[in-house]
Amino acid sequence: MSGELSFRKRRILYAALTEYIATGEPVGSRRLAKRYGINLSPATIRNVLSDLEDAGYLQQPHTSAGRVPTDAGFRVFIDALVQMREVPDTDKTLILARLRDLRPGQDDVMREAGKLLASMTDAAAVLTAPRPDQEHLDQLHFMPLRAGRLLAVMVTRSGAIQNRVVPYPEVERAELDRLNNLLDELVPGATLLELRDRLSVEMETERGRYDSLRRSASKMVEAIPDATTATEVVIEGQGKLFERPEFGDVGKIRTYMRAFEERERILELIEQTVGSAGVQVLVGTEASLGDITDVSVITSHYGEGSSPGTLGVIGPARMDYAKVVPLVDFTARVVGELYTAADDPDDERR
């Protein structure tokens, strides 16, 4: 869309967006001429602002007031900024110092990363963890629970533990012990999905006295139900968000608080970006939460597989994107490295 704009129009649009993000007030031609070194008369700038309004990038809330960005204006500005700025070394040092020694499964990585990101961006941090059945496993053991039921205990490389009740005919204890011994050989390093494939291959290539055991193991693993609980959404730092000047209105705080309680809607927004590389920014109506349209959601994914974790921030559309976008990207990469290290049995930090 920015390709439709001349250099002059892009420059004035970017200046207007920068000024609005800094002040939260409608922007006029005289202010832009004074503060941004634009070598044009206020009348010429006013004409360009009018053209940008006609094109849908700006709007005028009141006839006599300056102009404010539309969703389309924010989108052009954000797309231009995404590749333009690195995280300052001081911020990198702070993030690494706070996060690099945390251990998934032992420390609450999500909440610690969320608190840090909220404090650095003055926005609410939103995070989801990778689903345990998509993580690499260290162990999988079946235990007798009651008649017709087994308990599948899965331990991931990151230390997370998840139990699933498996409906299955009663199995003799000796047979169950042999089955668990077989799984000890096949499980390490595999996801649950990969383990199912491994057992299928084993059954096709191996014959003899263990064939029946592999068939039983395959049936048990296939019987493990997929995760039935919704992905956990963690939100940190609402207090930092509500300190922003936009939230002088108590009613707006209440509206955001209600939106934060709608975790399913937030998860829907996050799932829109799954499969996309890099930082994703949803702004305005793209990221509407309940009755809120003055909102921006900035996310990046970490971890591998079809169900990665997500880290990002939620705040008003008037955010410092030049600062926040690189911070989200760098923090997500650091958290991803923590999970990768936790999945590596040879990592010296374990």
φ, ψ at 193 (rounded to 5°): -65, -40
CA distances from 296 to 21, 74, 154, 254, 277 (A): 13, 10, 37, 17, 18
Q: What is the mean pLDDT of residues 141-164?
A: 80
**Least confident among 46-50, 136-140, 270-274, 296-300:** 270-274
**Choice between 84 and 221, residue whose per-residue pLDDT is larger:** 221
Rounded to an integer, what is the distance from CA 114 to the centroid of its chain?
A: 11
Q: Is the same domain home to 117 and 235? A: yes
For residue 230, pLDDT over 70 is answered with no
What is the identity of the amino acid at 28? G
Phi, psi of 344 (to 5 degrees): -95, 110
Do both 119 and 248 map to the same domain?
Answer: yes
How far is it, in rounded angstroms, from Cα 12 to Cα 18? 10
**Can you give the pLDDT at residue 158?**
65
- CB 124 within 8 Å of CB 313: yes
- What letter does residue 88 receive in the DSSP assignment? P
Count how many domains the chain has.
Answer: 3
Q: Residue 95's pLDDT band (boundaries 50, 70, 90)? A: very high
> Looking at residues 114-130, what average pLDDT do you find?
91
Q: Which two tokens stand for residue 219?
A: 């049936």
Domain end, chosen from 197, 223, 249, is at 223
Residues 235 and 339 in one domain: yes
The terminus-to-terminus CA distance of the chain in angstroms comes to 48
Note whether 155 and 250 are same-domain residues: no
**Per-range mean pLDDT, top range of 87-91, 140-144, 286-290:** 87-91
Instruction: Return d(Cα 198, Cα 206) in angstroms, integer.
Output: 12
In Å, how far from its chain's centre is CA 113?
Answer: 12
Q: What amino acid occupies position 133?
A: D
Last residue of a domain, one of 44, 60, 81: 81
176 and 124 fall within a common domain: no
CA 47 to chain centre: 41
Q: Show the domain range for 235.
A: 89-130+231-343
Query: Mean pLDDT over all residues of the chain?
Result: 83
Among the three residues 179, 206, 223, which one is the final residue of a domain in this structure? 223
Q: Please tell me which residue, 217 or 97, carries the higher pLDDT value.
A: 97
Residue with tokens 């920015």: 2
| Burial tier of 220 (Cβ tally within 10 Å: 0-12, 13-18, 19+) | buried
Q: Clarify whether residues 126 and 237 are in a common domain.
A: yes
* Rounded distance between C-alpha atoms, residue 283 and residue 5, angstroms: 20
- Claim to verify: residue 243 and residue 171 sit in the same structural domain: no
Q: Are 15 and 64 in the same domain?
A: yes
171: domain CATH number is 3.30.390.60
Q: Give the pLDDT score at 234.
A: 87
Nearest residue to 266 via CA among 335, 325, 312, 329: 312
Confidence of residue 1 (pLDDT cuts 50, 70, 90): very low
Whole-number pLDDT of residue 18: 92
Instruction: Quick: pLDDT tens for 250-293.
Output: 888 988 998 888 888 888 888 777 667 788 888 888 887 877 88
DSSP single-letter state for residue 4: G
Domain match, 272 and 285 both: yes
Question: Residue 344, exposed/middle/buried by CB under 10 A (0-12, 13-18, 19+)?
Answer: middle
In a domain, 348, yes or no: no
Over residues 9-30, the pLDDT tens digits come to: 999 999 999 999 988 889 999 8
Query: In the numeric block, which tokens belong to residue 136?
Result: 């690499």
Residue 127 pairs in a beta bridge with 234, 311
- Residue 8 pairs in a beta bridge with none
pTM for this one? 0.70
Which burial class, exposed, middle or buried, applies to 203 when counting CB atoms under 10 A from its CB (0-12, 13-18, 19+)?
middle
- Distance, in Å, from the CA atom of 299 to the CA atom of 290, rounded to the nearest integer, reads 19
pLDDT band at 125 (very low <50, low <70, confident <90, very high): very high
Q: Are 80 and 14 in contact (CB under 8 A)?
A: yes
